[in-house]
Amino acid sequence: MGPKSSLDEVTELLGNQVHRLNETNFSIIFLGLLPAKVDWLPAPLRLGLAGGPLLIAILLSRLGRIGPLVVNMPDNTNRALRELGIILFLACVGLLAGEKFFVTVFTGEGLKWVGLGVLVTLVPLLVIGTICRKVHRMNLMMLSGLFSGSMTDPPVLVFATGMAGSDSPAVSYATVYPLTMILRVVIAQLIALMVL
């Protein structure tokens, strides 16, 4: 039980309607889709459907509310959307890659790219994993979340969370994923805009 002044403040804010904490308002998340004009670039910078809502959600979770709008997502809604998002993501990746996957991969050029992909993926993971484990004494579950966040790889997070039986991997995932995602979106656009 909190101090009476705090309870009175919450009562005034919510109008004594506890059910408002169980409501989810998604409309404000899409503010991140608006383009940002940067003077030295020939076109506006856009964070897109991945980076925009993510950045706005981080800001909103920090603020907690905007005027009368309480920014809250109930745990059940969060879990349901997370599972649905991962299912849709994997389905889309499979549908896009499936048609020419075997024809592309099992050629000389395809195998070269697969080998380079394995190298580019494994070397940073082994180096950072060794440093985090030996120097910072991170456990395997925290490392799993860190790796999945740095590669923006939700299926690895789902696997690690299932193995851990807790949200421990999600904590380290959440610390790395937003920065990685936003940097990927922004750097790709900057490269494209500066080359054009």
Q: Is 88 left (phi over 0), alpha (psi -120 to 50) or beta?
A: alpha
Would you state the pLDDT for residue 42?
80
Amino acid at position 125, single letter: L
Q: How far apart are the first and last CA of the chain?
A: 60
| Token pair in block for residue 39 | 């003077």
- pLDDT tens for the 196 residues of the chain, in order: 556 666 566 666 655 555 665 666 666 667 777 887 878 778 787 777 767 777 777 787 787 777 777 777 777 777 787 778 778 877 877 787 777 778 878 888 889 988 998 898 889 888 988 999 999 998 888 898 888 888 888 888 888 888 888 888 888 888 888 888 888 878 878 887 777 6
Give the pLDDT confidence score for residue 21 in this predicted structure: 58
- E strand spans, the chain: 65-66, 69-70
Report d(CA 130, CA 35) in Å as an integer.
40
Question: So what's the pLDDT on residue 2?
Answer: 56
Both tokens of 102, joined, read: 């075997």
Residues 56 and 29 sit within 8 Å (Cβ to Cβ) = yes
pLDDT value of residue 40: 78
The number of CA neighbours under 13 Å toward the Cβ of 17 is 9
Write out 9-27 in H/E/C secondary structure: HHHHHHCCCHHHHHCCCCH
Domain boundary assignment for the chain: 1-73, 107-196
> Which pTM was predicted?
0.55
